[in-house]
Structure 1
């Protein structure tokens, strides 16, 4: 079995939509993220998760604005 080792930088590149090219012998291998989203959440609760920081920030700001709307005296 062949093994392709990815560094943290390689994984971050893939998560951010960039391709990673590795060489195995004479063969170049292009590794990329799938174009399709998973149909279901992962079954296993992992220690580390992938999150879109821009979307998370928008959600945080939206929730804060909603809380301020319903606060007495706002």
Structure 2
């Protein structure tokens, strides 16, 4: 069985939309993230999770701004 080993940098590249090219024997293999989103969340709550911190921070800022709009006396 062939095995493709990915470094943390390789995994980060894939998560950020870049392709990783690995060589298995004489053949080059391109590894990329799926174009489709998963239909369901993972069943297991893993220690390490993939998050888009830019979007997450924008959502937090939006929620915070909306909270201020609806506070009493605001």
Using the size of structure 2 for normalisation, the TM-score is 0.93
Q: Structure 2: give runs of 5+ residues left out of the alignment.
A: none
* Superposed structure 1 runs of 4+ greater than 3 Å apart: none
2:50 alignment counterpart: 50
Deviations 1:23-70 (A, max 9, x none): 111111100001111111111110111111111011000110111112
How many residue pairs match? The answer is: 74
Alignment partners' CA distance in 2, 1:37 and 1:72? 40
In the TM superposition, 1:24-63 aligns within 5 A as 24-63=24-63
- CA RMSD, aligned part only? 0.9
In the TM superposition, 1:7-18 aligns within 5 A as 7-18=7-18
Using the size of structure 1 for normalisation, the TM-score is 0.93
Q: Structure 1: give runs of 5+ residues left out of the alignment.
A: none
